[in-house]
């Protein structure tokens, strides 16, 4: 993950990830990243630009960065997570040229979105989305569900379905940087109920749009290993570089000095990173999960959830993701439905069809979705 700045022009009320700052990554740092990463490991790399708002450095930064990273690394691909307010025709063409997966954030219809993301956010993001669509650039969405918007979850669901917009759901989190996010935090039980409710509806709508989290939860259950970072062990396989070259475990930690694992300018090797105090804290999370989640039947494909969520909500690495109860709810529901379908298919004359008479797809269809 490359985090060129923590600055952002949006003013989302529950935001925990941006700062009012002028610090922006200098393009020369891309050379430092290349020099470091090529000696760090031998694996292919997926680069995700994140923020703050990653489009703030502008077209020239991306023109050079994408070209250099493509030419000089073992590239798997590029992604960017942005409010897309600065996405113009020039950037659209550039992102198409480099096959950049673009994702933006919208929390539902205009009224619901602007209530929590600020006036005119919806129009600015949707204008850029429509321009991108017109020019053939695909855009995916992240939708943050808060304690407030949870009450309107049906409207949010219909909005994404009716507009054929694929989304990832994000439950609002507390923050270590201040207390602005606290009242918006989504309770784990409510989040679990929402996932189950949406699964029920989604099985009628698999041909209309994608709810990426539900796709991954079903796939993880089938494969018995997490296929989304939240449910995999991300420690050491995901790293984030801040504007000054500091290395963190993930974009979510950027700006938190106690989670700096090293700096790309010093070209740390894996062993150096593993000797940092920040790495020790991440190991505390891992060890806690090993002990605490040991008897949980979903441990193999949950792994204690997101370490950042755990640390931020509990103010210690000796914790699991506060969404634990919601994960248990949805994994249990998916397993129950899958078992029922397996049993049915074992009884002659009751084989599952791809799509049943009432238009409902099976959980197996969802598990096998490409």
Q: Which residues bind ligand SF4 (CB under 6 A)?
A: 229-230, 234, 238, 250, 252, 293, 296, 298-299, 302, 304-308, 320-321, 324, 327-328
The C-alpha atoms of residue 128 and residue 51 are separated, in whole angstroms, by 18
User: Minimum distance from CB of 221 to ligand SF4 (Å)?
Assistant: 12
User: Minimum distance from CB of 361 to ligand SF4 (Å)?
Assistant: 25
* Region for residue 63 given its phi and psi (left: phi exceeds 0; alpha: psi -120 to 50; beta: otherwise): alpha
Nearer to ligand SF4, 2 or 112 (CB): 2
Nearer to ligand SF4, 30 or 306 (CB): 306
Nearer to ligand SF4, 124 or 286 (CB): 286
User: Minimum distance from CB of 328 to ligand SF4 (Å)?
Assistant: 5
Nearer to ligand SF4, 141 or 327 (CB): 327
User: Minimum distance from CB of 295 to ligand SF4 (Å)?
Assistant: 8
User: Minimum distance from CB of 330 to ligand SF4 (Å)?
Assistant: 10
User: Minimum distance from CB of 88 to ligand SF4 (Å)?
Assistant: 29
In terms of residues, how long is the chain? 370
User: Minimum distance from CB of 250 to ligand SF4 (Å)?
Assistant: 3
Nearer to ligand SF4, 128 or 323 (CB): 323
SS (HEC) of the chain = CECCCCCCCCCCCCCCCCCCCCCCCCCHHHHHHHHHHHHHCCCCEEEEECCCCCCCCCHHHHHHHHHHHHHHCCEEEEEEECCCCCCCHHHHHHHHHCCEEEEEECCCCHHHHHHHHCCCHHHHHHHHHHHHHHCCCCEEEEEEECCCHHHHHHHHHHHHHHCCCCEEEEECCCCCCCCCCHHHCCCHHHHHHHHHHHHHHHCCCCCCCCEHHHHHHHHHHHHCCCCCHHHCCCECCECEECCCCEEECCHHHCCCHHHCCEEHHHCCCHHHHHCCHHHHHHHHHHHHHHHHCCCCCCHHHCCCCCHHHHHHHHCCCCCCCCCHHHHHHHHHHHHHHHHHHHHHHHCCCCCCCCECCCCCECHHHHHCCC
Nearer to ligand SF4, 117 or 252 (CB): 252
Nearer to ligand SF4, 117 or 303 (CB): 303
User: Minimum distance from CB of 79 to ligand SF4 (Å)?
Assistant: 13
Nearer to ligand SF4, 33 or 250 (CB): 250
Nearer to ligand SF4, 234 or 261 (CB): 234
Backbone angles phi and psi of 143, in degrees to 5 = -120, 120
User: Minimum distance from CB of 46 to ligand SF4 (Å)?
Assistant: 12
Contact between 95 and 102 under an 8 Å Cβ cutoff? The reply is yes
Helix pair angle (188-202, 153-162), 10° resolution: 40
Nearer to ligand SF4, 247 or 250 (CB): 250
For residue 216, give every residue at least 6 positions away whose Cβ sits within 8 Å of its Cβ, in sequence order, or none: 226, 227, 228, 231
User: Minimum distance from CB of 321 to ligand SF4 (Å)?
Assistant: 5
């Amino acid at each position: 993950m490359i985090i060129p700045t923590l600055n952002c022009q949006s003013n989302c009320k529950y935001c925990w990830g941006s700062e009012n700052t002028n610090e922006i990554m200098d393009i020369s740092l891309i050379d430092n990243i290349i020099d470091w990463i090529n000696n760090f490991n031998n694996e292919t790399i997926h680069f995700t630009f994140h923020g703050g708002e990653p489009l703030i450095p502008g077209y020239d930064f991306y023109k050079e960065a994408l070209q250099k990273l493509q030419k000089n690394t073992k590239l798997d691909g590029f992604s960017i997570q942005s409010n897309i307010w600065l996405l113009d025709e020039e950037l659209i063409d550039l992102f198409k040229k480099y096959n950049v997966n673009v994702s933006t954030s919208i929390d539902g219809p205009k009224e619901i979105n602007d209530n929590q993301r600020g006036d005119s956010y919806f129009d600015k993001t949707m204008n850029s989305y429509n321009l991108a669509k017109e020019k053939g650039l695909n855009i995916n969405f992240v939708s943050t569900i808060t304690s407030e918007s949870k009450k309107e979850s049906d409207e949010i669901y219909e909005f994404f379905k009716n507009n054929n917009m694929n989304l990832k759901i994000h439950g609002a989190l507390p923050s270590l940087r201040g207390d602005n996010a606290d009242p918006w935090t989504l309770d784990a039980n409510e989040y679990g109920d929402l996932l189950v409710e949406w699964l029920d509806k989604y099985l009628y709508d698999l041909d209309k749009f994608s709810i990426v989290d539900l796709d991954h939860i079903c796939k993880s259950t089938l494969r018995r290993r997490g296929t989304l970072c939240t449910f995999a062990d991300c420690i050491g396989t995901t790293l984030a570089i801040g504007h000054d070259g500091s290395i963190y475990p993930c974009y979510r930690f950027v700006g938190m000095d106690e989670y700096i694992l090293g700096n790309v300018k010093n070209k740390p090797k894996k062993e150096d990173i593993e000797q940092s105090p920040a790495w020790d804290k991440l190991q505390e999370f891992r060890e806690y999960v090993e002990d605490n989640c040991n008897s949980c039947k979903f441990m193999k494909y949950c792994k204690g959830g997101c370490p950042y969520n755990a640390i931020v909500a509990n103010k210690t690495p000796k914790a699991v993701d506060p969404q634990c109860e919601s994960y248990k709810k949805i994994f249990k529901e998916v397993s129950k439905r899958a078992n029922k379908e397996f049993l049915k298919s074992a009884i002659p004359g009751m084989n599952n069809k791809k799509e049943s008479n009432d238009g409902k797809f099976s959980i197996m269809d969802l598990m096998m979705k490409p």
